[in-house]
Amino acid sequence: MVVVMSPDATDEDVAHVVEKVESVGGEAFVSKGVVRTIIGLVGDLESFHGLNLRTLRGVADVHRISDPYKLVSRQHHAERSTVWVGAEGSRRVPIGPDTFTFMAGPCAVETPEQTLEAARMAQSAGATILRGGAYKPRTSPYAFQGLGVRGLEILADVSAATGMPVVTEVVDARDVPVVAEHADMLQIGTRNMANFGLLQAAGDAGKPVLLKRGMTATIEEWLMAAEYIAQRGNLDVVLCERGIRTFEPSTRNTLDISAVPVVQATSHLPIIVDPSHAAGRKDLVVPLSRAAIAVGADGIIVDVHPDPESALCDGPQALLGTELRELAQACRRLPAMVGRVGSHERVGQG
Amino acid sequence: MVVVMSPDATDEDVAHVVEKVESVGGEAFVSKGVVRTIIGLVGDLESFHGLNLRTLRGVADVHRISDPYKLVSRQHHAERSTVWVGAEGSRRVPIGPDTFTFMAGPCAVETPEQTLEAARMAQSAGATILRGGAYKPRTSPYAFQGLGVRGLEILADVSAATGMPVVTEVVDARDVPVVAEHADMLQIGTRNMANFGLLQAAGDAGKPVLLKRGMTATIEEWLMAAEYIAQRGNLDVVLCERGIRTFEPSTRNTLDISAVPVVQATSHLPIIVDPSHAAGRKDLVVPLSRAAIAVGADGIIVDVHPDPESALCDGPQALLGTELRELAQACRRLPAMVGRVGSHERVGQG
Amino acid sequence: MVVVMSPDATDEDVAHVVEKVESVGGEAFVSKGVVRTIIGLVGDLESFHGLNLRTLRGVADVHRISDPYKLVSRQHHAERSTVWVGAEGSRRVPIGPDTFTFMAGPCAVETPEQTLEAARMAQSAGATILRGGAYKPRTSPYAFQGLGVRGLEILADVSAATGMPVVTEVVDARDVPVVAEHADMLQIGTRNMANFGLLQAAGDAGKPVLLKRGMTATIEEWLMAAEYIAQRGNLDVVLCERGIRTFEPSTRNTLDISAVPVVQATSHLPIIVDPSHAAGRKDLVVPLSRAAIAVGADGIIVDVHPDPESALCDGPQALLGTELRELAQACRRLPAMVGRVGSHERVGQG
Amino acid sequence: MVVVMSPDATDEDVAHVVEKVESVGGEAFVSKGVVRTIIGLVGDLESFHGLNLRTLRGVADVHRISDPYKLVSRQHHAERSTVWVGAEGSRRVPIGPDTFTFMAGPCAVETPEQTLEAARMAQSAGATILRGGAYKPRTSPYAFQGLGVRGLEILADVSAATGMPVVTEVVDARDVPVVAEHADMLQIGTRNMANFGLLQAAGDAGKPVLLKRGMTATIEEWLMAAEYIAQRGNLDVVLCERGIRTFEPSTRNTLDISAVPVVQATSHLPIIVDPSHAAGRKDLVVPLSRAAIAVGADGIIVDVHPDPESALCDGPQALLGTELRELAQACRRLPAMVGRVGSHERVGQG
């Protein structure tokens, strides 16, 4: 931490800061410039926070230097992690630095038939993990909110039928137990990234968590949200970049593709990309998926639907037919260019 | 709703859209231009949503024309509403178009003494509603998270001692009953604006709700969140503008002062301003409060603390001394310039 | 300046940084923490820039501590400045900390009659400086681009007829001489805030400059643009906040009202507000003008037009009738609440 | 165009709009809904703009439906264009849909030796076009502003020595002739994207133009800027995505990778990506370049410098050594995965 004094700070002001820092066991290094003095702080960050340094007389600014997260940091754990999804040995699918994992399924679970058909589509395109929403957080209280427990049961049935582990969203801390009972991985959606009670409940549930980036969260805030989960003893967290809110209206969100290498440089957690929700447009899903693979993402998660015209949620971005075939091809060929194998080659080896 | 066809759409594509619209009881008006055809839709918006018009062949774009919210709209209720806060007749404080309501208190409840002292400061500066946090949503799991139920008890005691009704934040749907039992008004914070389960629980609690704008929510999304509460039969919702996330780093958030007249033009709900959290800097609180009064806000909510240097939360933005006196003066003199009286002149008249 | 070393930086890396800093005459203070080392730099900022410290081995980050501008800073000139606009003694109008200056006129000069009529409207509402565009920077090459020199002549005639000094935009460095010949103040528009050649030409023209904030410029970048002008020996620069680009679609831009006190705390230059271009909606101009006065702006600049329906530019935001009367009243009554007199009371006293 | 009437608009208000539209030769189709009436407009867009429809009584909103640009639109020219850079037959390099073009060089031209060395590095990594700045637009008036004409001469010499055509930035309309004389392609930088006088001058210069996206420009505004150039008869415009300004601080800008397929769907102009300026960090250049190739960009432009530590401009993002070799490998292998050949295979065939 660095404390920047204002140009008119007195020697007493500087001494008061030093005294405060030392009172909590820290060390303060004073650098006196012509215009202003800066004070470097060494010691325990948490104890410095309690000092309210910004309120002290003569203090112009306080800069934090080190990362505020610990458990999810590569400083804590230098090697990048692999998270295994799926209960039984024969179905366990890896998400991590050596593989590329393709996850797909319908935005919302509507019927057993639609879900099974979407799962078959996903599987034949190469997907190894099934996604599908039973609880849908919707901006409008008048929109379809998901089938709830019935949706979870359908997902569990389709998972059994196809052998694909299932990831599904949980939107309320009270639902965590029932979701954890039916699904292999809990998804925390973009609107709930800062719902700290939900993060903690997910951390306690004993299943891997897929944590989407808040659509207006900085990468640092996102990693702090992961830290909330990790703090409960659950380090099986996979991050998912899904676009951020910007001024550009031609896509629903702006996919922050740079977030992939930035996260990989600072955190050991795996990171995947959701091109469907970033773009909100079907025609961008294939090029953005290719970009995600090439930039080095550990996987992608994509909407597919057997009949987008009748989908109850996000029909306009669901793939089928030609586009899905193109995507399948990209997922088969491109990962090797960045030194990865498809996750199907490692299923059950975790 | 308006459907814009792409330049290469065929007559069949147009006919298919018209057919779909008519199948749910709507009417479709076709305007054929030289380059493209547009189709005006008349009928029930909800039924059109189910059609997934964007997925139909030849459709380039779909524009929504009317507002997606109903109960909170001025079309539903042309006159601007007044919300009364406080249980007993003698303490009920109005927030609405005729008055200006000053709410103040400490960011976090720390001790009975600190809370009472802050309440006395607030009251002598002219505040009529006490704010104070018992549950704090913090970005870092390592930061002070609030006193919980013990904090609620302190607030209730201080409320009884001062006669000021209390507003306090609730961050988890499971805590709504206990918060509603102790407080006069429930606050939904910026990070939870899209926590739909919490909104619904707050709507069911039988107390007025203070709904802060999500720091990256559009005004329309914010009004949709209010609609979630209203849908449970609770129209006692007060909106609170508290700054939005932008690229400008010199303030913690950018106070969107225009949101006040924009909301007042489209919704009947009262709207207040939180200059403390918008700025994150003590020296901006007084000028921004003056701007809020002058733009026509129905109130402000401000952080005060008897000893900012030792505050457990947001010390750098808490007022005391000269600044609080300046603010008190602005709250006394400026509201009359925009045709309002201070809320203290109407206490107990609701 | 503070250099933050990465956790794995060696003692040699630190020594290399120190050596580099000393090689240009600076001093380096090393603070060795448990995890990382930070180095405080004292000396001439410009010389440090040439070192490319970020490229050195072991350097994780470099934080700038002091402001990058000089001439426009309050550190250079602690008292806030007053800029006088208008050539002859009897017409000179002040813009500064003691007064409130109301500037108004048509977005674009169209005809002598329309300009004169708009000027008369503005003057009778209390405006003391006439605005009007002869050169219009338009997003579309197909839109009206202004009358050019003919527009300047009309402005000069109307200025003579009304006794109001004139401010008008210049969009090309090649036009600076002719604009400076006809107008009393040169306006640099939002799209040209970073057109450095134009800034320098305006700095050389011998007339005061009204510098609008780039719609996506930080306050620091804006002050750097002012520094470009000041560097040519022209300190008669007035800043104009006119809204920044954000995700909120209900206003054309988001008026950053906090920019007024932020700028006043760091720069001695006067700052005014343009509520018309910020909002892009007539119904917001009066409330935003009131907010601007209350927050402490040194003036406002507003679009008026005798017949908005036929305006060639920005008709939807031009005031007339009731709204203009309301604005006139606010400009008469509110400045006194923040300790200012109307600029008309000081005309010719500079 | 679609005019949305407010709910309280009268029949007369609707009739007035229709009359206005017909007065300029347009047709108006009225769709009367239960709550509001919408009016579809068919005819010449430009003539409708002059009507100021938003100022008419009863009009709530006006939606533009079609694109505002023409010459650069795929509706004007369905096939994607190839732009050839370089004067003589034997050196002409294509940028277009069939090829992948790698452009590289130093951010700023400093000396003949540094420029030649950087060009050799670029060329041996596979680059076919040399970039280098002689005029640098800098936020600070105290920073290195480029060598000017001397820099242009160095570039021309290095171009002759290596056989690589040269692209260089022009920042002032007055410099266009001298830059056009020395360089093969004129670059308009991000700060000047809306400098319309410069766009027109570049359009008149008879050389291809590389138009960078304004760091806060929407894609539509960017294409309008290209339209300014095209309107002067110059359709040899190549667009360059270089990151947009967002709230995320970990990269200098946020690379909007989706802009590539979005532009390719609406405009026939080629589009390349600048990963160096987007990221501002050397370690992201290679992954972002891979993403750019995979998403389908027509090329990339990258900073290289023989000695980043001593670079006068943007040293921290310049590649050399291992990273440049990695990039060279990606440029050799990845384009084939998206159906392209390296531009070197087509040099001189235009």
Binding partners of A (≥3 Cβ pairs within 8 A): B, C, D
Examine the pLDDT at D261 and tell me if it is beyond 90: yes
Q: In the beta sheet, which residues pair with residue C99?
A: C341
**Cβ–Cβ pairs < 8 A, chains C and D:** 95
Mean per-residue pLDDT, D311-334? 83
Q: What is the pLDDT of residue D289?
A: 96
The answer, yes or no, to whether residue C314 has pLDDT greater than 80, is no
Residue of C nearest to B249 (CA): C218
pLDDT at residue C67 in the model: 77
| pLDDT value of position D36 | 77
Neighbours of chain D (3+ CB pairs under 8 A): A, B, C
B105: buried, middle or exposed (CB in 10 Å: 19+, 13-18, 0-12)? buried
> Which of the two residues, C314 and A287, has the higher pLDDT score?
A287
Query: Which pLDDT band holds residue C109 (cuts at 50, 70, 90)?
Result: very high
Q: Which pLDDT score is estimated for D242?
A: 96
Cβ pairs A/C, distance under 8 A: 59
A192/B197 CB distance under 8 A: no
Q: Which residues of B touch D66 (CB under 8 A)?
A: 35-36
In angstroms, the Cα distances linking C335 to B337, C290, C294 are 11, 9, 7
Give the ranges where D206-320 is alpha helix by DSSP (H): 219-230, 259-266, 275-279, 282-295
CB contact under 8 A, D261 and A246: no
Q: What is the mean pLDDT of residues B86-97?
A: 88
pLDDT of B239 strictly over 80: yes
Q: Please check the confidence at residue B111 and state whether its pLDDT lies above 90.
A: yes
For residue D167, the cross-strand partners are D131, D185
Q: What share of chain B is helix, strand, coil (3-state, %, to 5)?
A: 40, 20, 40
If DSSP codes are grouped into helix, strand and coil, which group holds residue A28? Answer: strand
Cβ-based neighbours of D46, under 8 Å, separated by 6 or more: C142
C139/D221 CB distance under 8 A: yes
Average of pLDDT values for C138-146?
78
| C10 pLDDT more than 80 | yes
CB atoms D38 and B40 under 8 Å: yes
The mean pLDDT of D303-328, rounded to a whole number, is 81
Which of C194, C228, C310 has the CB atom closest to D191's CB atom? C194
Are C186 and C198 contacting, i.e. CB atoms less than 8 angstroms apart? no
For residue A67, give both structure tokens: 């990362």
C2-63: CATH, from 3.40.50.720, 3.50.50.60, 3.30.70.1140, 3.40.190.10: 3.30.70.1140
A contact test, residue of C14, C27, C29 with most A CBs within 10 A: C29
Instruction: Kindly tell me if the per-residue pLDDT of C104 is higher than 90.
Output: yes
The closest CB to that of C52, out of D50, D68, D310, belongs to D310
Cβ distance A196 to B141 less than 8 Å, yes or no, reads: yes
> Residue B6 corresponds to which tokens in the numbers above?
């792409």
pLDDT for residue C120: 94
Q: How many Cα atoms occupy the beta-carbon half-sphere of D285 within 13 Å?
A: 26
Q: Are B42 and D61 within 8 A, CB to CB?
A: no
Size of interface A-D (CB pairs under 8 A): 116
Find the CB nearest D228 among C141, C196, C316.
C141
Of all residues in chain D, the one with the smallest CA distance to B26 is: D33
Report how far residue C135's alpha carbon sits from residue C174's, in angstroms, rounded to the nearest whole number. 12
**Angstrom distance (rounded) from CA A259 to CA B1:** 36
Instruction: Mark out chain D residues that contact chain B at CB-CB < 8 A.
Output: 2, 4, 7, 27, 29-36, 38, 40-43, 61, 63, 65-66, 75, 245-247
Q: Name the β-bridge partners of C101.
A: C299
- At residue C55, the pLDDT reads 83
Report the residue of chain D nearest C228, measured CA to CA. Answer: D141
* Amino acid letter, residue B157: D
Interface touch D40/B38, C-beta < 8 Å: yes
pLDDT confidence band for B295 (50 / 70 / 90) = very high
pLDDT tens by residue, B250-260: 999 999 999 99
Question: Position of tokens 């010719």?
Answer: C348
Of C139, C192, C196, which is closest to D137 when you measure between CB atoms?
Answer: C196
Q: What is the dihedral of CA A242, A247, A252, A256, to 10 degrees?
A: -20
Please report residues of C whose CB lies closer than 8 A to that of B218.
247-250
Element (DSSP H or E) covering residue B12: helix B11-23
Interface contacts A/B by beta carbons within 8 Å: 92
Q: Which CATH class is domain B83-346?
A: alpha beta
CA distance A348 to chain B (A): 34
Of A29, A63, A246, the CB nearest to C63: A63
Q: In chain D, which residues touch A (CB < 8 A)?
A: 216, 218-220, 244, 246-251, 254-262, 265, 278-279, 283-284, 287-288, 290-296, 333-334, 337-338
pLDDT for the residue numbered B120: 94
Average of per-residue pLDDT values in chain B = 90
Residue D14, pLDDT score:
92
Q: Are D202 and D188 in contact (CB under 8 A)?
A: yes
Structure tokens at A226: 């992961």
Question: What pLDDT shows up at residue D6?
Answer: 85
The contact set of C with D (CB < 8 A) is 46, 49-50, 52, 54-56, 68, 137-143, 171-174, 191-192, 194-197, 215-216, 221, 224, 227-228, 231, 245, 308-312, 315-316
What are the respective helix, strand and coil percentages of chain A, to the nearest 5?
40, 20, 40
pLDDT per position as a tens digit, B34-90:
677 888 887 777 778 777 888 888 888 888 777 788 899 998 889 999 999 998 777
Chain B CB contacts of D31 under 8 Å are 27, 29, 40-42
Q: How confident is the model at residue B278 (pLDDT cuts 50, 70, 90)?
A: confident
Instruction: Check residue B41 and give its pLDDT.
Output: 83
* Residues of chain B in Cβ contact (below 8 Å) with chain C: 216, 218-220, 244, 246-251, 254-262, 265, 278-279, 283-284, 287-288, 290-296, 333-334, 337-338
Tell me, what's the pLDDT at A86? 94
The C-alpha of C262 sits at a distance from chain B's nearest C-alpha, in angstroms, of 8
C28: distance to nearest CA of chain B, Å? Answer: 28
What are phi and psi for residue D12, nearest 5 degrees?
A: -65, -40
Say whether B254 and C256 touch across the interface (CB within 8 A).
yes
Nearest CA in chain C to B287: C295
pLDDT per residue, tens digit, chain A (350 aa), is 788 888 889 999 999 999 988 888 888 888 877 677 888 887 777 778 777 888 888 888 888 777 788 899 998 888 999 999 998 777 899 999 999 999 999 989 999 999 999 999 999 999 999 999 999 887 777 777 889 999 999 999 999 999 999 999 999 999 999 999 999 999 999 999 989 899 999 999 999 999 999 998 999 999 999 999 999 999 999 999 999 999 898 999 999 999 999 999 999 999 999 999 888 888 999 999 999 999 999 999 999 988 877 777 776 777 877 888 999 999 999 999 889 999 988 888 87
First-to-last C-alpha distance (Å) of chain D: 41
Domain ranges of chain C: 2-63, 83-346
D138 Cα to chain B: minimum distance (Å): 19
pLDDT greater than 80 at residue D302: yes
Q: What is the pLDDT of residues C19-31, one digit of tens each?
A: 988 888 888 888 7
Q: Are the beta carbons of A194 and B139 separated by less than 8 Å? A: yes
Which residues of chain A have a CB within 8 Å of the CB of B308?
A: 52, 55
Is residue C286's pLDDT more than 90?
yes
Helices (H), strands (E): how many in chain C?
Answer: 11, 15
Residues of B in contact with A233 (CB under 8 A): none
> Quick check: do C2-63 and C83-346 share a fold?
no
Do D26 and D48 contact (CB within 8 A), yes or no?
yes
Q: Which pLDDT does position D328 carry in this prediction?
A: 93
Q: What is the structure's pLDDT at D294?
A: 96
Calculate the average pLDDT of chain C.
Answer: 90
Coil, helix or strand at residue C204? coil
Q: Which residue has the higher pLDDT, C247 or C209?
A: C209
Nearest residue of chain A to residue B172 (CA atoms): A197
* A171 with B50: Cβ contact below 8 A: no
Q: Give the residue on B whose Cα is nearest the Cα of A224.
A: B140
CA distance C40 to chain A (A): 6
Min distance A25 CA to chain C CA atoms (Å): 13
pLDDT at A309: 75
Would you say A276 and A246 are in contact if contact means Cβ atoms under 8 Å apart?
no
Compare CB distances from A137 to B52, B194, B315 and report the shortest one's residue: B194
Which residues of chain A have a CB within 8 Å of the CB of B195? 191-192, 195
**Closest approach of chain C CAs to the CA of D98, in angstroms?**
31
Q: Which of D174, D197, D224 comes nearest C171 by C-beta?
A: D197
Minimum mean pLDDT among A247-256, C106-115, D68-77, D188-197: which range?
A: D68-77
The DSSP symbol for B191 reads: G
